[in-house]
Structure 1
Amino acid sequence: MDKRSVAALKYVGTQRAVRLKKLGIKTVGDLLWYFPRRYEDRRLLKGLATLVPGEKATVRVMIKGWEEREVRPNLRLLRALVEDGEGRGYALWFNQPFVRRRLKLGGEVFLTGKVNYHNFLPEIQVTDYEVAGSGEDGLHAGRIVPFYPLTGGLSQRWLRLIVHQALKETAGKIPEILPPSLCTRYRLIPRCRALEYIHFPPDPAALHQARRRLKYEELLIWELALVLSRREREDGRPGIAHTRDNEMVRRFIAALPFNLTGAQERVLGEILADMEKPRPMARLLQGDVGSGKTVVAAAAMVKAVGGGWQAALMAPTEVLAEQHGRTLHRLLAPLGIPVAVLTGNTPRAEREAILSGLITGRLPLVVGTHTLIQENVDFKALGLVVIDEQHRFGVGQRAALQAKGDAPDLLVMTATPIPRTLALAIYGDLEISLLDEMPPGRQPVTTYVLTEKQRAKAYQLIRKEIARGHQAYVICPLIDESEGIAAEAATAMYQKLKEEVFPEYKIGLLHGRLKPSVKEEVMESFRRGDLAVLVATTVVEVGVDVPNATVMLIEGAERLGLAQLHQLRGRVGRGPGTSYCLLMAGNDGAARERLKILATNSDGFAIAEADLRLRGPGEFFGTRQHGLPEFRLATLPDDLRILEHAREDAHRICQENLWQQPEYYGLYLAAKEKMDELKL
């Protein structure tokens, strides 16, 4: 792809190149691969006499006169009288005096904008215009027009112009990287034409063909990068062949106050066998909320430590890291294995002692947040890396922690249910182990869908549980991804419960805007039983473990997906008593029906599949929640079929060593570039 600086293009220059850099556009190639986010079909030109109030329309008209006046301070109106042979009307611009210089009296122009009526004549508030017969080749009207994500100081008109210029300058020079056999099999248009059509499609069918071609190319390169990465790991540098002596692991399991489930034993067997091989392990441990992933990871860490290696566990939040530290300390105390916790909130003296212990090898096991990947954290002999809630970390962060050792084994864990086909595609560089059995004694949570009229009953149940010596959560979920609004909602609920509903009980407040030290203090008070009720945002969604909490009330439950509600519900039902989850929802019948699935089902995977079916992939799969890779065009799981084809083709290309054929060389280079980009 064209590696020239984008500043070399006509119409760009140094100043605008700086602004383009904010969009990730540094080269001409970057610009060609900066795709529109939406399109407007402006092929249909309407007559002024046929315009309807409220519609957005494109017209071809002649400028017959100008009027300019100040409506109020800092707001100037520019109005043109226009004709098209069938009628008359007006075109409006605000604070754009330069338009008058560009559009000459008697000249023909394409105008696009929203239609109103003034004195019985149509009036268009112009959002886009183009001089008929200008050198811009009809980029803004009379065609399907692209719209791009922008940054300050750049306009759609200008971006269209330079993309068009880049396409002109690279015409016939864009190399094809897909071999003819694949293009023929899937009836894919050439790469150069796909890039032309994705920016300036002549019709919807051409746009569809361009998207199909470029999605397949993107997903094939992704899958090839995963397969090549895995192959290089298996064939390349040797990993750590951990000791086959599992005596310490047996002592660890014997000291547990419960028996492992059949699924835990099976998965642990897979992990221990993998660790004994002389290549680096890379395994995904997927299990529903409460399936016992932490114990399995602890056993793997015991194996590493038993052989003289160090182990590190990275968690996405300080609350979760501190909790893992306590859990591991409790589990490993009988073996005398010390556990350190390192977060951004660790006091300086303690931090320095931990860093010294890691580099000298005195500390065999550390739990932490992304603080673990900072430059000043070094290990003497890192043998196992465990990543919890994998979807909260990027591939780069995963690789950065692995780079702290010499090819250490990797175990990533997630409680986010993802259908197996999709998991294979996303985590194609990992082996997958599935914990599909719940530990005995884990209580199913009785779940009710309630209306506002039943709020008093919900508070009555909470009061009854507190009287029995138990505790409760009240959850105020994130609204439109805004932690600030959620914090305000939680604070208002906290005040109401404290002053009006449960004045006799101690109530705590937990949200993302609190300082880490305050968060930990609140959680510790709740864990100790000092607080009867904890009002929180969804920061408690992952990993918080308070067995004495037996009831959770979730406000505005219809706003959350079933999979996320299931994660939240997993915070109760951890002790021997009956637990309850109360879903407070509005009167929307469809939303209430959706929530009833949760009330009748406790299988996270079944719930996730139902959620996907009901809400559609757009709402269900957000990269923020599920760690799905971000593609330029492809969206998962909408494009799952293309992904499956790409995965099959990637495996076949590698198995048959098709790299040696010249037509596959461009594909090989693209896959290697993707590996470098992802730090695979």
Structure 2
Amino acid sequence: RFSLAQDEQPSGAALAPLRQAVRGYSSQTLPHRRETVRELEALLTDLEPAAPPETEAAQTVSPAPDPQELSRPVRYAKGVGERRAKQLAKLGIETIEDLLFYLPRRMEDRSQIKRIAQLREGERVTVRGRVRAVEVIKPRPNLEILKLALQDNTGLLYAVWFNQPWLKSQFAAGERISLYGQVERTYKQVQLNSPVWEPADQPFLTGRLVPIYPATEGLKPAALYRLICQNLERYREAILEILPEEVRERHELLPRAQALERIHLPGSLAEYEQARRTLAFEEFFIFQLGLARQRRQAQSQRGPELEISDERLEQLLARLPFKLTGAQERVIAEIRNDLASGHPMNRLLQGEVGAGKTIVAAAACLIAAGAGYQATLMAPTEILAQQHGERLRAVLEPEGVRAGLLVGSLSAPEKESVRRAASEGELDLLIGTHALLQDEVHFKRLGLVVIDEQQRFGVIQRAALEQKGANAHVLVMSATPIPRTITLTLYGQFEISILDELPFPKQIRTYWLSTDRRAQVYELIAEQLRQGAQAYIVYPLVEESETLDLRAAAKMQKELAKGIFKEFRVGLLHGQMKAAQKQQVMAQVRSKELDVLVSTSIIEVGIDVPDASLLVIEHADRFGLSQLHQLRGRIGRSGQKALCFAIADASSEESRRRLEVFRDINDGFAIAEEDLKIRGTGELLGISQHGLDTTFRVADLLRDFKIMKEARAEAERLLEQQPDTPLLVEFQRRFGASFDLAHF
């Protein structure tokens, strides 16, 4: 619209071309109408009055958008509004910045324009030509087919859209358009079903490299792409640089705004990859900066100095009925150095199932007790806590270490007695479950916190236990090997110890069998039982329902006991049993009073029955890969030959891949890497377990491991030069203040 002063109104002669241009508009074809609109725009531009000369004060450049604008709700972005903001929220897009950083899932190369005569069935192509005809066909009720004939100078093809008759008004015979889609050949015709289309002279979704975005109901990828491009143009100047210039130069990275532009509007795949690499580096750099700061803060704190004589430690090790592996000796030495350093230890101990983490923990607890401090060990289940209690008492009490157990099944007077002993210093070691986190639990002089199966505790729980001792040393243990990419990212503030040797080679053969071979498996199990073997038969959680899980396990225990295993003693173990019942069942298994134990996945965590050599995992496709490997770790623990049978009719490609890896690979670290490839990092990282929002927008831990190592080195270098760099604020903004709790 134009608002003109009275003396600026155009004359009738000036308006004549406008009248001429619009004459006959209603009867024009669509291409002619478009040409008319362009002509009108040009004529109206000519009618605009010349701007008056600017005064010096008026000669100002329009200010760049304020960077704070990017944090505004996305409904204020260009072209969004309330309705579309709700659609964007389903994609996790809450702010304008989220919209700009909503990155493509992949790139589709639509740059090559193909001639119709060159088209081959199955390929995805861009073609350009003139509309020869367009019609709507109704072959049956509730089905309308829009069919368009497109011709170039080499041939003819047909484009087909289903139940979109309104599209007909968008096309006109003779108009030049571009189409993109998959080629099909039907009845000697070349056809594209539901192709992308646009006017040939307005290439946006064809004739170039086009990013493809994850979309949601009501918001097509193309519409989302237009929104992103509109707002990228509007807010480009508000995108501030984050990486120091010298870092960008060393690693040949783009300026931030340019990287964002090229990732959405790349001229080539090389441009796209350079942009993606720049933004991935930035994410890793900021994340590693926060982790490096955490490490430095820990190193600057004073912790209890826990030292022990060589003689006392050797006395403990001499009592063991086995010789330590080289890996155990190395890790004990690493922990011993940490405890004596005067700085709080923050160490992650991981190892293969059966690698001997418990004796390492025992050595650490002895060092603490020998220095006059207390230690505590928290396990995720009561069965595992009791097992630790039995083993650690057997090893440590002869050395004068007073150990106690605090679990939920104790009576109130028993709990009170244990708590009093810990608070008055009458216990050197307190082993327990979540009960250790209660406010009533106090220590007189806590110097060491050991957390077993650490991945089963949230960050809040771990921090609560650590806070019961002033700058106590922390040792967390994981029986699930963690991929190196994850340890350097999520556990970047830890020192890492790895038990990469087993006391003896595992001799477990694993088979994946379909359900129609179940009878054969159970016949083989029965044959082995007659020779004195012991077996576990495991059922999964069904839809994460303990009740359903209990019914399945209980029913099968009865059926097996009355059927194929009627000559054997068949027990049952599940999570809803009382603690005393669980203890009784496990005691029966260890003493060989039971031949078969039908169980839920409760046996996954740390159950140690040395003689068990047979395992059947029913519905194995319901278990995760690391969980399957943990279950397999329950057999063959004395080095004997063992058999594992995974029974499942895997219905999805992912479950088939998971079971193939489980069948073919016995090494836990190799399994962890394969699990990462299959599942990606999404399920391995998250606020609920780790206290950090480790959702990377661009970076991929598996693909970008090299970039992460480079970013980590640069983060360390910057922190060395600027310990209080303002970029730490960016870390808190992106990854959350909950990081402050993350001593893990």
Give the AA of the match of 2:737.
D
Q: Tell me the CA shift for residue 154 of structure 1.
A: 3.5
Q: Does 2:214 match 1:149?
A: yes
Alignment of 1:347-386 (within 5 A): 365=430, 367-368=432-433, 383-386=447-450
Report if the CA contact (8 A) 1:289-1:415 is conserved. yes
Q: Does 2:613 match 1:550?
A: yes
Counterpart pick for 1:169 among 208, 213, 234: 234
For residue 347 of structure 2, give the secondary structure of its aligned residue in structure 1: strand
Which has the bigger relative contact order, CA under 8 A and spacing at least 6? 1
Report if the CA contact (8 A) 2:145-2:162 is conserved. yes
Q: Does 2:157 match 1:93?
A: no
Q: Tell me the CA shift for residue 409 of structure 1.
A: 2.6
Q: Deviations over 1:12-49 (max 9, x none)?
A: 22343344334332222222222222232222344556
Other-structure match for 1:7:
75
Q: Does 2:262 match 1:197?
A: yes
Counterpart pick for 1:473 among 536, 541, 556: 536
Other-structure match for 2:103:
35
Alignment of 1:298-447 (within 5 A): 298-301=362-365, 313-315=377-379, 320=384, 323-324=387-388, 335-341=401-407, 365=430, 367-368=432-433, 383-391=447-455, 398-399=462-463, 402=466, 406-417=470-481, 423-424=487-488, 427-439=491-503, 444-445=506-507, 447=509
Q: For the residues of structure 2 that align with 1:548 and 1:582, how far apart are their CA atoms? A: 14
Q: For the residues of structure 2 that align with 1:521 and 1:152, how far apart are their CA atoms? A: 51
Q: For the residues of structure 2 that align with 1:70 and 1:520, how far apart are their CA atoms? A: 71
Give the AA of the match of 2:79.
Y
Q: For the residues of structure 2 that align with 1:108 and 1:355, how far apart are their CA atoms? A: 85
Q: Tell me the CA shift for residue 532 of structure 1.
A: 2.6
Q: Tell me the CA shift for residue 282 of structure 1.
A: 0.5
For residue 237 of structure 2, give the secondary structure of its aligned residue in structure 1: coil
Q: Does 2:695 match 1:635?
A: no
What percent of counterpart residues are identical?
Answer: 36
Report if the CA contact (8 A) 1:465-1:550 is conserved. no
Q: Deviations over 1:325-354 (max 9, x none)?
A: 665576677744322235xxx799799979
Report if the CA contact (8 A) 1:450-1:585 is conserved. yes
Q: For the residues of structure 1 that align with 2:547 and 2:194, how far apart are their CA atoms? A: 36
Moved more, 635-644 or 420-429: 420-429
Q: For the residues of structure 1 that align with 2:112 and 2:236, how far apart are their CA atoms? A: 28
Counterpart pick for 2:715 among 650, 669, 679: 650
Q: Deviations over 1:60-88 (max 9, x none)?
A: 4648434275955xx54351434244425
Counterpart pick for 2:588 among 528, 534, 544: 528
Alignment of 1:555-594 (within 5 A): 567-575=630-638, 578-582=640-644
Distance 1:192 1:336, change over 3 A: same
Q: For the residues of structure 1 that align with 2:562 and 2:195, how far apart are their CA atoms? A: 52
Q: Tell me the CA shift for residue 568 of structure 1.
A: 3.9
Q: For the residues of structure 2 that align with 1:187 and 1:78, how far apart are their CA atoms? A: 52
Other-structure match for 1:126:
194
Give the AA of the match of 2:496.
I
Alignment of 1:457-468 (within 5 A): 462-468=525-531
Q: Tell me the CA shift for residue 162 of structure 1.
A: 2.1
Q: For the residues of structure 2 that align with 1:464 and 1:550, how far apart are their CA atoms? A: 13
Give the AA of the match of 2:698.
L
Give the AA of the match of 1:547.
P
Q: For the residues of structure 2 that align with 1:27 and 1:143, how far apart are their CA atoms? A: 29
Query: Structure 1 unaligned runs (5+)?
Result: none
Q: For the residues of structure 2 that align with 1:145 and 1:479, how far apart are their CA atoms? A: 42
For residue 355 of structure 2, give the secondary structure of its aligned residue in structure 1: coil
Q: For the residues of structure 2 that align with 1:522 and 1:35, how far apart are their CA atoms? A: 50
Other-structure match for 2:297:
232
Q: For the residues of structure 2 that align with 1:143 and 1:354, how far apart are their CA atoms? A: 75
Counterpart pick for 1:505 among 558, 568, 573: 568
Q: For the residues of structure 1 that align with 2:417 and 2:100, how far apart are their CA atoms? A: 49
Q: Tell me the CA shift for residue 608 of structure 1.
A: 3.6
Moved more, 123-132 or 519-528: 519-528
TM-score for the superposition, normalised by structure 1: 0.75
Q: Tell me the CA shift for residue 285 of structure 1.
A: 1.3
The size of the alignment, in residue pairs, is 645
> CA RMSD, aligned part only?
5.2
Report if the CA contact (8 A) 2:263-2:275 is conserved. yes
For residue 218 of structure 1, give the secondary structure of its aligned residue in structure 2: helix
Report if the CA contact (8 A) 1:325-1:340 is conserved. no
For residue 226 of structure 2, give the secondary structure of its aligned residue in structure 1: helix
Give the AA of the match of 1:471.
Q
Moved more, 157-166 or 358-367: 358-367
Q: For the residues of structure 2 that align with 1:485 and 1:647, how far apart are their CA atoms? A: 46
Distance 1:525 1:654, change over 3 A: same
Q: For the residues of structure 1 that align with 2:530 and 2:109, how far apart are their CA atoms? A: 64
Give the AA of the match of 2:262.
Y
Q: Deviations over 1:249-307 (max 9, x none)?
A: 96994896646726545533533443354432211112322222123324545665787
Q: For the residues of structure 1 that align with 2:230 and 2:554, how far apart are their CA atoms? A: 54
Q: For the residues of structure 1 that align with 2:423 and 2:139, how far apart are their CA atoms? A: 74
Distance 1:22 1:543, change over 3 A: farther
Other-structure match for 2:150:
83
Give the AA of the match of 1:544.
I
Other-structure match for 2:22:
none
Report if the CA contact (8 A) 2:304-2:471 is conserved. no
Q: Deviations over 1:431-467 (max 9, x none)?
A: 223334545xx67435376988998886566335433
Q: For the residues of structure 1 that align with 2:443 and 2:348, how far apart are their CA atoms? A: 25
Other-structure match for 2:653:
none
Q: For the residues of structure 2 that align with 1:286 and 1:338, how far apart are their CA atoms? A: 25
Q: Tell me the CA shift for residue 649 of structure 1.
A: 2.4
Report if the CA contact (8 A) 1:183-1:189 is conserved. yes
Distance 1:487 1:50, change over 3 A: farther
TM-score for the superposition, normalised by structure 2: 0.69
Report if the CA contact (8 A) 2:126-2:206 is conserved. yes
Give the AA of the match of 1:67.
V
Distance 1:222 1:333, change over 3 A: same
Q: For the residues of structure 2 that align with 1:213 and 1:35, how far apart are their CA atoms? A: 13
Report if the CA contact (8 A) 2:419-2:442 is conserved. no
Distance 1:109 1:307, change over 3 A: farther
Report if the CA contact (8 A) 1:117-1:123 is conserved. yes
Other-structure match for 2:737:
676
For residue 238 of structure 2, give the secondary structure of its aligned residue in structure 1: coil
Q: Deviations over 1:493-532 (max 9, x none)?
A: 879866764343354677xxx7644899678635523643
Q: Tell me the CA shift for residue 233 of structure 1.
A: 1.7
